[in-house]
Structure 1
Amino acid sequence: MTDSPGTGQCDCGAAAGPLGECADYYYAILAEEQADPRMYQWHAVVVCAYLLQHPSRAHEKYLDVQFRMLRLYLDQGLDALLRVTAHQVARNKHGVRSGYDMAPFAAYGPIPQGGSPGSFRAGFSGMPFRDGSFVSDGHAAYGERIHAIAEATVESWTSGTA
């Protein structure tokens, strides 16, 4: 099942929250982070986790690098991921080569075969949205929630179960 209005549950297995299904949360997060540079620092984590939790919305050929990016983030932290993503962007802008520089991800194994595990202990539709914001209780709390979603995503993919 894919995220679709009115179904009450999306393809990641999560029930809809007050804003709707995971896609509604995802697009609301993307919109809010455009006006908030502190929130935007988790952009890569948000995108990777969302697409890995909803692979029907992703390009299959990128899921492996997205999985490795989340693993790098969980292992080395946000600053390390921001350095790697800045390197990838700079590399692409200068036309050095197309595609990702996989060297930063060499320590992390490929995405497990067999497809999406289908459900996750933490997801987007569980994100609190108060006073019109995902960061109403602070950026640190928002970062902790995004971190928990990233952990749940990698955990489910590596264990094959929710």
Structure 2
Amino acid sequence: MDQCDCGAEAGPLGLCDYYYYAILAEEQGDPEMYRWHAPVVCAYLLQHPSRGHAKYLDTQFRLLQLCLDQGIEALLRVASHQVARNRHGVRSGYDMAPLEPYAPLPQEGPPERFRTGFAALPCDDGSFVARGHEDYGRRMTAIAQATVDAWFGRPAG
């Protein structure tokens, strides 16, 4: 059986990258699903750090912690704030103030396994939200929690 670089076995649709790109495609036509875009990207890249850019992983890790601590609405407010800063030509870079309370990315390197990940997501009738948007949000939250826990060295079991 195929195994992903995050340690997960391939799911019914294949390895995690297939799930990730299918989610990105589906969320483009579903605004409620798209609300989870930032946690999806952050969790995927933290579970598959070779697919992203190392200089952004710390911010992505802190964003997941913020989402888990304060919820998706808080994450959306922070993201909206960043977009507004970019629109107004602020050149000082990312505003880290909302993320300062959260732990930096551990430097020990990526975990070998995660309690849950993308290949565990159900995709009924070709949709990740076929069981409802609430269910999808719970599953994204579980993936975010498993990602943060693994980076903090908490057991994947």
Summarize the alignment of residues 1-162 of structure 1 with structure 2, pairs less than 5 Å apart.
Answer: 8-159=2-153, 161-162=155-156
Q: Is the 8 A contact 1:32 1:133 kept in 2?
A: yes
* Secondary structure in structure 2 of the residue aligned to 1:20: coil
Question: Structure 1 stretch 152-161 or stretch 115-124: which is displaced more?
Answer: 152-161
Amino acid corresponding to residue 27 of structure 1 in structure 2: Y
Q: Distance in 1 between matches of 2:23 and 2:9?
A: 18
- Count of residues in correspondence between the two structures: 156
- Identity, % of aligned positions: 68
Aligned-pair CA distance for 1:99: 2.4
* Secondary structure in structure 2 of the residue aligned to 1:159: coil
Aligned-pair CA distance for 1:114: 1.3
Could you state the TM-score of these two structures normalised by the residue count of structure 1? 0.93
In structure 2, the residue matched to 1:3 is none
The runs of 5 or more residues in structure 2 that have no matched partner are none
Deviations 1:45-65 (A, max 9, x none): 000000000000010000000
Q: Distance in 2 between matches of 1:114 and 1:92?
A: 32
The runs of 5 or more residues in structure 1 that have no matched partner are 1-6
Question: Structure 1 stretch 152-161 or stretch 105-114: which is displaced more?
Answer: 152-161
Could you state the TM-score of these two structures normalised by the residue count of structure 2? 0.96
Misfit runs of 4+, over 4 Å: none
Amino acid corresponding to residue 98 of structure 2 in structure 1: P
